[in-house]
Amino acid sequence: MMGHHRTSYSSNTIPLDPTIPISSVQHLLVDVDFFKRAKNPGGVNKPQLFKKHRKSRQLKSLQSSQVWKNGKRDAQVLQMEEWFPSIAQPLSAPASHPNARGKAKSASNISMQSLSLRQHAPVSYKNDCPESDIGKYFYKLPGELRNRIYRLAVLQETKTVEVTTKPETCSQGACVHTKTSFNVPGIANTCRQMRWEVMPIFVAENPTWAFDAGVVHNCCVGNTIRSLGDYADLIPQFELAINRPLWNRDSFTEYATYRFTLFPPKHPIANGQWALVQNEEEGRVICDCAPRKLLMAMDSQREPVGKAVITFVESEEWADFVWRVRKTKQQHNHLLRCKKCGEVVFNN
Length of the chain: 348
What is the reported pLDDT for 239?
94
Average pLDDT on 274-293 reads: 82
DSSP 160: E
Return the SS3 of 337: strand
* Candidate from 14-28, 189-203, 302-316, 333-347 with smallest mean pLDDT: 14-28
Q: What's the whole-number average pLDDT of the chain? A: 75
Average pLDDT on 304-331 reads: 88
* Candidate from 16-30, 226-240, 273-287 with smallest mean pLDDT: 16-30
Kindly tell me if the per-residue pLDDT of 66 is higher than 90. no
* Candidate from 64-68, 97-101, 200-204 with smallest mean pLDDT: 97-101
Cα–Cα distance, 83 to 44 (Å, whole number): 36
Cα–Cα distance, 58 to 139 (Å, whole number): 50
DSSP 208: E
Kindly tell me if the per-residue pLDDT of 15 is higher than 60. no
Average pLDDT on 186-203 reads: 89
Kindly tell me if the per-residue pLDDT of 313 is higher than 90. yes
* H-state helical runs in the chain: 36-39, 57-64, 66-70, 73-83, 112-115, 143-154, 180-183, 192-204, 213-217, 221-228, 289-301, 305-313, 316-327
Contacts of 89-95 with CB under 8 Å at 24 or more apart are 90/114, 90/115, 90/116, 90/117
Kindly tell me if the per-residue pLDDT of 144 is higher than 80. yes
**Contact call for residues 228 and 306 (beta carbons, < 8 A):** yes
Cα–Cα distance, 52 to 177 (Å, whole number): 68
Average pLDDT on 287-294 reads: 88
Kindly tell me if the per-residue pLDDT of 225 is higher than 90. yes
Considering only CA atoms, which of 80, 98, 103, 100 is closest in space to residue 90? 80
Average pLDDT on 286-296 reads: 88
Kindly tell me if the per-residue pLDDT of 120 is higher than 90. no
Q: Cβ atoms within 10 A of the Cβ of 214, count? A: 19
What is the reported pLDDT for 115?
43
What is the reported pLDDT for 315?
92
Q: What is the DSSP string of 226-284?
A: HHHGGGGGG---EEEEEEEEEEETTEEEEEEEEEEEEE-TTSTTTTTS-EEEE--TT--
Kindly tell me if the per-residue pLDDT of 124 is higher than 60. no
Return the SS3 of 209: strand
Nearby residues of 166 by Cβ (< 8 Å), 6 or more positions away: 214
Kindly tell me if the per-residue pLDDT of 99 is higher than 60. no
* Position 119, amino acid: Q
Better pLDDT: 134 or 314: 314
- How confident is residue 304, by pLDDT bands cut at 50, 70 and 90? very high
Which range in 90-94, 171-175, 228-232 is most confidently predicted, on average pLDDT?
A: 228-232
CA distances from 347 to 190, 264, 326, 337 (A): 49, 29, 12, 10
Kindly tell me if the per-residue pLDDT of 226 is higher than 90. yes
Question: What is the distance, to the nearest Å, from the Cα of residue 134 to the centroid of all Cα atoms in its chain?
Answer: 22
Domain limits of the chain? 159-334
pTM score over 0.85: no
Nearby residues of 107 by Cβ (< 8 Å), 6 or more positions away: 71, 72, 74, 75
Kindly tell me if the per-residue pLDDT of 59 is higher than 60. yes
Which range in 75-89, 270-284, 296-310 is most confidently predicted, on average pLDDT?
A: 296-310
Average pLDDT on 98-111 reads: 48
| Digit-coded pLDDT (tens) for 228-247 | 999 999 999 999 999 888 88
Nearby residues of 292 by Cβ (< 8 Å), 6 or more positions away: 276
- How confident is residue 305, by pLDDT bands cut at 50, 70 and 90? very high
Average pLDDT on 275-279 reads: 88
